[in-house]
Structure formats: C-alpha cells, structure tokens
Structure 1
C-alpha cells in the first residue's frame, strides 16, 4: 500500500511565536519579581521579630539577591537554555530525580507565594476598604483572574505585570519620600534604628526576619 507524505510549506516553523519584542517588559518583570509584594505584607512581622533594626535583614536580603543574580548571570551565559534552576541542577548532578525535585520545589514555592499574597490582598488590604468582604472567595477569585491573564498569553501577562510593578514601586517611593520628610523635619527617632525587639535575641531575630522577608523562595 502506497503512502504519501505532505511536505511542509517553505518557511513553516513549529517554534513558538515570539510575543515579547522589547526589553522593557523583561525589565519590569525582573524589577517586580525582585521587589516582591511581600515587602507590603511582611514588614509588620519582620518588625516584630527584630524591632528597629528592620533594615538589617533587608540589607542581608539585598546581598543574597545580588549573589543570586550574579550566579544566574554566570550560569545563563554558560548554559543559554530555558529551564532555570532545574536546568542548572541537571547540568551539575546529571540526575533526573534531582532535576525534577528542584523544578517541583520552585513550582511549589511559586504556588504557595501566590496563595499567601492573594490571602493578604483579600484580607489585610481589601478588608480595610470593604470590611465585610469574605477573604477566601476573593483570594480564589484573584488567583483565577491571574490564571486567566497568564492563559491569554505571555505578552499580556507581562503587560499586566508592568502595571503591578509600577503601582508597587510608586508605593515604595511614596514611603521613602514621606520618611525622608519626617526625618528631615526632626520628627523621627534615629535611635530606634539600632534597637532590637525586647525578648528576641538579635541574631535569631534577624535570621527569622530574613527568612520571612520575601514572597519568593527565601534562603531558608
């Protein structure tokens, strides 16, 4: 029985369509991912852990973030392929189960992060405006909305991320400016910058705050 084959048209490609054509979207993605919304949801917890030296775990987190960025920059130039940490684990250990484990942990961290932030959005922040609104349904709806945006396309999700990052950066800039004005007018208490929380050992408090610093996977 004869079989026939159909040749692919000239120029036909099975590769994914490149939907991101500007580095600006990547820039805002990295900025938003690095800042993390946890800066809005965990500052109170961090302050309770360490007290006035809240800036210490933030500086430590910055150092760790710079080390991570440098490591990724080195690895991506050596292994310019998609996959991130799972890809690098595969190259380092050449064990499929290690690659799977790293990828699974990264995925699990992302899911729990999204859940925690959705809960904070629906609870602490939205309830300040609408006191009687139920937390869990709103959190689920918020996650569902994000899923729909991501299903729409990578470009659309990055565009939405630009808006979220601008809002996040604007809030932080406002806080910094207001704090500078207060300190400049003599309304602050600089001595509190070196005071630890009562009953909390300095090292353990700083370490606990560092672990709770980010909505991303922490060094802990």
Structure 2
C-alpha cells in the first residue's frame, strides 16, 4: 500500500483544469502524457536499481535509492537528501493545492460551509479553504508517523477513486456536451476492480483512522446538504 503513495499526485491536476483555456482538448493529453512519462521514469529507475544493488538488500533498506547512490558514488549523500526533501515537499504542496481547491469547490456547491468559498478580491485565491485545510493537515501530522499518514491518504484516495469511477459509469449514460472526452467503458470498471483489490491490502489501524475521517466528512456533508435544502425551501 505504501508503494501506491508514489503514484499520488496526478489526480490533483483535475482541480486546476478549470483554469486551462481548452480543458476538453488539453487536459486529457496533459494527464495521459504525464502518466506515460512518469511510468517510463519509474520503470527505468526500478530497472537501474535492481541491476545495481541486490534485490534483498533493496528490500531490507529503508532508503533503497540511497543504497544505489552509495554504491554508484559521485553524488554526495547530502545532495541526494536535499533532492529527496524537495520532492517530498513538492508532493505535499500538490496535495495542499488539491485539498484547498476541492474544499473551495464543495463550499461553492453548498456541500461545505460557505465561508470556505471566500476568495481574495484581486488574486481570487480561496484563502479560507487554504487556511482550513492547512490547519487540518498540521493536526493530522501530529497523529502518526509519515508511513501511517501516507497509508491513510492512500485509503482516502481509494474511496475517492471508487466514487469517481462509479460517477464515470453513470455519466457515460448521459449525452453530455459535444466534443467532450469519452473514456472507454472498460477503464472505470478496471479502476473499480483495482481499488477493491487495494482495499484488501489496508491494515486495520489505517482503516480505523480513515473511517473516522470519512465519517466526519460524511456528517459534515449531510448537515450542509440539509441546510442547503432548507434554504431552498425557505426561498
């Protein structure tokens, strides 16, 4: 499950697709291009690492790529650590952008408190959503180690991916707009199957933490949905 964390990040770009000039044309190409490029890089890194260092040594190490750097030489360990730190920070930044934009969009649709939809007058930055999601991230960071938090994030993303793939199957039955991207029906079915398979690899402690967060989110969504319904009825 922890290895799945290395593939996290591609889905965050969808939250910024509305800022693309022609998302129906540009976004699918950019997304699939990034997936193919990253997949090729991951494959090459895996092949080089396996060819350079014995597999059992890589499996037993807490820093497999660091073992490759040590064996190859030429790159100072402090420089490799700096690059790794920047890479991890970049992943955290992408997750922060995704969560704040997602909270802003849900607030704008009435699924979260409307205060999260407030933006700066000039830059249009959802500053309340940024502060709220950052505070929540800091609070969660105090509840466990990095590996446990990463596995919890993967579990929550799997829940999201199940909902997205199910939504794709429903949306395929609707005509939609002319010229929109239409994915083959086998793709969402394979997505659902892979998510269900990965659910079986989640530890009990991760399930407990994840279900608590999903439960809190569900309660908040129900409360705001009822509030929005009452507002429409009153109007």
The structure 1 residue matched to 2:15, chosen from 41, 65, 74, is 41
The structure 2 residue matched to 1:105, chosen from 74, 78, 86, is 86
Give 1:1-220 correspondences, 5 Å limit: 25-26=1-2, 29-30=5-6, 33-34=7-8, 36-46=10-20, 48-49=21-22, 51-77=24-50, 78-79=52-53, 80=58, 81-83=61-63, 91=72, 93-96=74-77, 98-129=79-110, 130-133=113-116, 135-154=126-145, 156-182=148-174, 189-190=178-179
Per chain length, whose mean CA-contact separation is higher, i.e. which structure has more relative contact order (CA < 8 Å, sep 6+)?
1
Q: Which has the higher helix share?
A: 2
Query: What is the CA-CA distance between 1:57 and the residue it aligns to?
Result: 1.9
TM-score of the pair, normalised by structure 2: 0.53
Q: 1: CA distance between counterparts of 2:77 and 2:141?
A: 28
Query: What is the CA-CA distance between 1:85 and the residue it aligns to?
Result: 5.9
SS in 2 for 1:132: helix
Q: Which runs of 5+ in 2 are unaligned?
A: 119-125, 182-235
Structure 1 residues 105, 162: closer, same or farther in 2, change over 3 A?
A: closer
Q: Conserved in 1, the CA contact under 8 Å of 2:15 and 2:101? A: yes
Give me the CA root mean square deviation.
3.4
Structure 1 residues 94, 49: closer, same or farther in 2, change over 3 A?
A: same
> Which digits, 9 at most, give the CA deviation of each residue in 1:145-203, with x for residues without a partner?
333434332464245224411232023203421342235xxx5534x55xxxxxxxxxx
Structure 1 residues 188, 70: closer, same or farther in 2, change over 3 A?
A: same
Q: 1: CA distance between counterparts of 2:143 and 2:168?
A: 36
Q: Which runs of 5+ in 1 are unaligned?
A: 1-24, 194-220
Structure 1 residues 181, 147: closer, same or farther in 2, change over 3 A?
A: same
TM-score of the pair, normalised by structure 1: 0.55
Structure 1 residues 172, 87: closer, same or farther in 2, change over 3 A?
A: farther
Query: What is the CA-CA distance between 1:131 and the residue it aligns to?
Result: 2.3
**Larger CA Rg, structure 1 vs 2:** 1
Structure 1 residues 140, 85: closer, same or farther in 2, change over 3 A?
A: farther
